[in-house]
Structure 1
Amino acid sequence: MNHKKVQRIMRKLGLKGNKFTRKSRRYSSYQGNVGTVVKNRLHRRFKTTIPCQKLTTDSTEFKCSDSLKLYLSQVMDMYNGEILSYGISMRPTLDFVMKPLEEALEIVKNARYRTTIHSDQGWHYQHGKWVATLKKHKVYQSMSRKGNCLDNAPMENFFGLLKQEMYYGEPPRTYEELKRAIEAYIEYYNNKRISQKLAGMSPVQYRLHTSQLAA
């Protein structure tokens, strides 16, 4: 159904989506200059017509009903908003972000153009192991300006959608329950959740469609 028709019906019935009235509390891994801080190569130029040319990454946290915290780190392709890889952990360790990075690098290793990966200035992304891994794979590194979340808007938008659609307003869940719910949401987001920006297709559908046109 066309979204405008839904809006008309909601206005007529006086309905409002209450999940989107709550703002997400942003998790920050910034600890000052503890390693290498690089320039912002993207300057908010998020759009690209080339798969795997521009990637972005970030981490966020969730509270669980069993007094634990859940941390989510992921890598997104700005071409279609697809989540290429992600990691879930009880602690925001270095390995927690390195595993999704290594999985994403395996996907983009045959990209037509040199890849750039963008992040904030969190300590993980300044760490020598992160920097060395990118250099080894000939991937450019880019960072947001300090304290400027708009410099990484695509990932911030995804975190907002995820939390509004499957976290806020839902019954409290244990770490394992929430982990399964996030895994299911990312599967749904990549393969089934349609987007107007992608001509009414999901990220994976859009990638497959455009690859067929290119062929």
Structure 2
Amino acid sequence: MSRNLADMRRDYTRDGLSEEQAPDEPFALFHQWFAEAVKTEQAPVEPNAMTLATVDAAGRPHCRILLLKGLDARGFTFFTNYESAKGAELAARPFAAMTFFWPSLERQVRIEGRVERVSLEESDAYFQVRPLGSRIGAWASPQSQVISGRSQLDELLAETERRFMEIAPHCPEHWGGYRLLPERIEFWQGRASRLHDRLNYRLEDAVWQRERLAP
């Protein structure tokens, strides 16, 4: 197994990333790369899938795959249960990192910054456009809590479906959005022989500074 892993490699030769191609601020480049990922990535890859890393009160890191559900000049938005493990981690330490990886384009984007809750209005607006099953699931699942088995979750789901048989589920108080306010965004373009292109943007005194990092 270890030998097979050591032999697994892929050379990246699709594209490059130069300073001449990159704007002075990172959002325009992210929008460009994301649009290209939507056109290029094939199912089952979801272009808006990203790894979210958080740190708990003891300083231990945790990461998982989530979906990006909002992007504007303020930052990157995702939604979850506030009482989940990630919710507790963000309450203790309101900082996080995101990583997007688009293998067809041989690209990666890393984002780091402070995290804050979005407004109740923003959470409710997104909640209302979710499929009905997802809205009911947000009420039914005690996310990250230990349960006795799948049957307990099925019972909670059935109970919640009965509760909302005649009324539409509204956004729970324990569920909503977070926005990561970026302080650093790094764009990574795979290149041959592992000599990748890395352009890093750092926010200093409200101004984005761009720099090249060695691979």
**Is the shorter-chain TM-score for this pair beyond 0.5, marking a shared fold?**
no
Higher relative contact order (CA 8 A, sep 6+): 2
- Whichever structure has more strand as a proportion of its residues is 2
Q: Which has the larger radius of gyration?
A: 2
